[in-house]
């Protein structure tokens, strides 16, 4: 069991969370006068009707010390109960041995709820059922953004990992670091788990794996697929880019309006 975090530790983590927010998102954290709660945190977005209400008690980093609510002024009782179940499910991934467990759980599952890529909040929580084989094998895509991508080791590892998992995509080096991948659902989930295990500054899953059917035909041309490479899935195709405009152009080449996946995250939207 990890040692409890100090108030300074928590303040450092809140700064890290704040640095990962989109321009429309705001974090307000205040000390609590209600023992044993030590912080009350509100995260809102101008682009979403949803908000996050978080309380952290003095036993943090333990999961029992953190309570997260998904709130909305237009939320009914049934929807609120569904959100409670959804939050409970996501909190099962809490790992108190991580350096920044609150940052990890928020950036992976909760902050994406506030992103403008979802033009309207879901009427019920986005439950993820156990996928059928015919669905999980279809092309999905996902997007990760970090404060920067400069490490030569990370850059080489991304290329190697994409080949191992038969992924198509790119990494944009510099500030910010951008990683976009296309592949089967199980391969993308493994890719995210591995990439998240590396040491990052403000890494955030901007788009969790979601189905992208327009890629289905194009995935058939993955390098080496004709020779049975990677269990018949091919070796994938990964590119390293240097500029945001190159990333936007790459996305445009994969499908109409695909570049909006970045623009909606506040990257490359100015003209």
Average predicted confidence (pLDDT) for the chain: 82
Please tell me the pTM assigned to this model: 0.55
Question: What would the pLDDT profile of 66-98 be if each residue is shown by its tens digit?
Answer: 999 999 888 888 888 889 988 998 999 898 888
Domains and CATH numbers, the chain: 7-114 (3.10.110.10), 133-263 (3.30.70.100)
Question: What would the pLDDT profile of 211-221 be if each residue is shown by its tens digit?
Answer: 888 887 776 54
Question: What would the pLDDT profile of 225-269 be if each residue is shown by its tens digit?
Answer: 444 434 445 568 999 999 999 999 999 999 889 999 998 888 876
3-state secondary structure the chain: CCCCCCHHHHHHHHHHHHHCCCCCEEEEEEECCCCCEEEEEEEEECCCCCEEEEEEECCCCCHHHEEEEEECCCCCHHHHHHHHHHHHHHHCCCCCCCCCHHHHHHHHHHHHHHCCCCCCCCCCCCCCCCCCHHHHCCCEEEEEEECCECCHHHHHHHHHHHHHCCCEEEEECECCEEEEEEECHHHHHHHHHHHHCCCCCCCEEEEEEEECHHHCCHHHHCCCHHHCCCCCCCCCEEEEECCHHHHHHHHHHHCCCCCHHHHCCCCCCCC
Q: Quote the pLDDT of residue 116.
A: 61
Q: Quote the pLDDT of residue 129.
A: 45
């Amino acid at each position: 069991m990890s040692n409890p975090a100090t108030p300074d530790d928590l303040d450092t983590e809140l700064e890290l969370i704040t640095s990962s927010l989109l321009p429309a998102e705001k974090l307000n954290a205040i000390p609590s006068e209600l023992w044993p709660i030590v912080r009350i945190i509100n995260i809102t977005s101008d682009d979403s009707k949803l908000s996050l209400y978080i309380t952290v008690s003095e036993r943090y980093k333990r999961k029992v010390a953190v309570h997260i609510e998904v709130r909305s002024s237009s939320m009914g009782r049934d929807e609120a109960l569904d959100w409670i179940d959804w939050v409970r499910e996501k909190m099962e991934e809490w790992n108190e041995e991580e350096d920044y467990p609150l940052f990890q759980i928020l950036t992976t599952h909760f902050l994406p709820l506030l992103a403008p890529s979802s033009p309207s909040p879901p009427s019920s929580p986005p439950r993820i059922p156990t996928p059928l084989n015919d669905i999980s094998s279809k092309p999905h895509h996902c997007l990760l953004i970090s404060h920067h991508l400069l490490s030569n080791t990370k850059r080489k590892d991304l290329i190697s990992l994409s080949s191992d998992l038969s992924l198509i995509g790119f990494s944009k080096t510099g500030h910010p670091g951008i990683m976009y991948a296309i592949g089967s659902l199980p391969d993308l989930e493994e890719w995210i788990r591995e990439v998240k295990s590396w040491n990052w500054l403000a890494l955030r899953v901007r788009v969790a794996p979601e189905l992208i059917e327009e890629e289905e035909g194009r995935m058939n041309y993955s390098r080496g697929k004709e020779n049975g490479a990677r269990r018949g899935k091919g070796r994938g195709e990964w590119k390293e880019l240097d500029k945001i405009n190159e990333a936007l152009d790459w996305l445009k080449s994969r499908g109409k309006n695909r570049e909006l996946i970045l623009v909606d995250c506040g990257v490359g939207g100015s003209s």
